[in-house]
Amino acid sequence: MNTIQRIAKNTIFLASSNIIGFIFSFFFLVYTTRYLGSEGYGLLSFAIAFASISIFLADMGITSVIVRDVARDRSKTATYIGNSILIKLVLAAITILATAAIGFILGYPFSTMKIVMVILLSLIVVSFSGIISSVISAYEIMEYISIGTVIYNSIMLTFALLAIGLEVDVYGFAYVYLLSSFFSLGYYALVSLRRFPRPRWDIDLDLWKYIIREAIPFGLSSVFVRVYYYVDTVMISLLILNPNEVMGWYNAAYRMVIILSFIPVTFLGSLYPIMSKLYVSSDKYLGFM
């Protein structure tokens, strides 16, 4: 299979799964907003926005380094998986403490921060899934990511409908995200066991320094993207008295549009591992890409 065919295959797989994911996400949004109402959905949206910004430290671009380096040399797979997991455990602990401290300094109620922390934990779990999905990208077997996307979105919708049936409040609804993230992590763990070498747990501090140093530019890019997408909701929470209802209106409309961002992301996700490999093997084809 030549380069163009691989790009086409991977793009088709990712696009198909994202279209299916978009359908699930659409119904998830419809049912969630109608059930929680503007205030409940506003509170949940704030938690997602706050956690999505604060998660940057635990997800500081390490996955991008994995895709780039493993795409160039697959013999690094076991070492990179093991050490990346260990690095993320340390960063996750720091992120949890920092998020709690920032919430306290900004004066958010304890009840609000409980939801933030549940959502933050779900994002941390997703970031660990990202280690395996980055290796999948490096191996250019995007069909596994496609399946994972469909599984995650379908489970999210299923748990949301179950939560609605059980008539849980917004605090209970936050666990829809956490439980779904664990199911997704389980899927990626199974893929890793079947397709990739077992992780090597030897702590390599030189590799840690290298990964963190190389991840910083990717991490900075991620910070600005996350701030760009989510800071508006945090601003509303700080500027308006009793902001939950306003945040609910704003995010219900905003999420309908932002879901469509999968269109450019899908194509770029297919190109990145191929361009990383061509960077060290063929300037000619890299230029063509």
pLDDT at residue number 181? 94
CA torsion angle 23 188 214 289 (round to 10):
-60
C-alpha dihedral (78, 83, 85, 87), degrees to nearest 10 = -160
Separation between Cα atoms, residue 109 and residue 113, nearest integer Å: 6
User: Does pLDDT of 56 surpass 70?
Assistant: yes
Q: 123: which DSSP letter?
A: H
Q: How many CB atoms neighbour CB 272 within 10 A?
A: 17
Q: In one letter, which amino acid is 194? A: R
Answer with the residue of higher pLDDT: 30 or 188.
188
Whether pLDDT at 251 is above 90? no
Most confident of 160-164, 221-225, 263-267: 160-164
150 pLDDT above the threshold of 90: no
pLDDT average, residue stretch 194-204? 89
DSSP letter (8 states) at residue 250: H
Q: What is the pTM of this model?
A: 0.81
